[in-house]
Structure formats: structure tokens, C-alpha cells
Amino acid sequence: MSVIYILLAVSIIVAIVFFAVFVFAVKSGQYDDSYTPSVRMLFEDELVKTKNTNTK
């Protein structure tokens, strides 16, 4: 039953990893603007299309 130590350690480490990722995300400003990325995400396609018409 000592395996519980390993299990607990793993579960806490996983939790801490997620927490660290969250802190990193906040710190890098991902929570400051929650609207623009949703629009920007859809742009890549259009940009490629313009490039294509350029090369044609």
C-alpha cells in the first residue's frame, strides 16, 4: 500500500505543473485581452490567400 506515496506525489506534481502553467499564462498577459485573439485566430487563412494570389 506504500504505493500511495508515489500516487500522491504524482498527483501533486501534476497539479503543480498545471498551476505553474496557469501562472505563466497570466504573467505573459494572456488574460489581459480575451477578445482580440479570438478574432486574430481566424485571420491566418486570409493572409495565406493573399499570398497565394500574389504568387499566381
Applying CB under 8 A, which residues contact other proteins? 1, 4-5, 8, 11-12, 15, 18-19, 22-23, 26-27, 29, 31-36, 39-40, 42-43, 46-47, 49-50, 53-54
DSSP states of 17-47: HHHHHHHHHHHTTTTT-SSHHHHHTTHHHHH
Find the shortest distance in angstroms from Cβ 7 to other proteins.
Answer: 11
Shortest reach from residue 20's CB to other proteins, in Å: 10
CB of 16 vs other proteins, minimal distance in Å: 8
Burial class (CB in 10 A: 0-12, 13-18, 19+), 21: exposed
